[in-house]
Copies of this chain bind each other. A is one copy, B any other.
């Protein structure tokens, strides 16, 4: 029984950002499973140690902060399609949500100390990266 169960705000740090060919909203493919275009994760040097061991062929889950997302959205038309009924935002992958975190599964093409070249990054250029995790199979 929690009356005040937890602090209600936290701060996130950008561990890096992405470089992609998508320069503005609308350019990036939606849930681009077919987004085989190359992109790059640029890590801030302070976090370089955290990717030691990443290798070509690894599948990674990249957590992005959709800095252009609207945070006061609670219901959306799925995939932005207005012919579809409004749905609770937590039943969708809309970039507009209270905490605009997106998940993107990518495959590693090459790695250097602070750069990971990947396939499948469907975010716009400059999107902050907040975490990277291995894909569990």
Given A98-B15, A136-B31, is A88 in contact with B8 using a C-beta cutoff of 8 Å?
A: no
A126 vs B125: C-alpha distance when bound (angstroms)? 36
Contact with B along A45-78 (1 / 0, CB 8 A): 0010111111000101101010100000011000
Residue in chain B with minimal CB distance to A116:
B90
Minimum C-beta distance from A95 to chain B (A): 11
B6 adjacent to A99 (CB under 8 Å): no
A56 to chain B, nearest CB (A): 14
Given the complex, which residues of B lie within 8 Å of A13, measured CB to CB? 8-9, 98-99
Residues in A90-137 with C-beta less than 8 Å from chain B: 90-93, 97-99, 101, 103, 126-128, 130-134, 136
Is A12 a contact of B99 with CB atoms below 8 Å? yes
Closest B residue to A90 using CB positions: B132
Residues of the B chain whose Cβ atoms lie less than 8 Å from the Cβ of A5:
17, 42, 126, 128
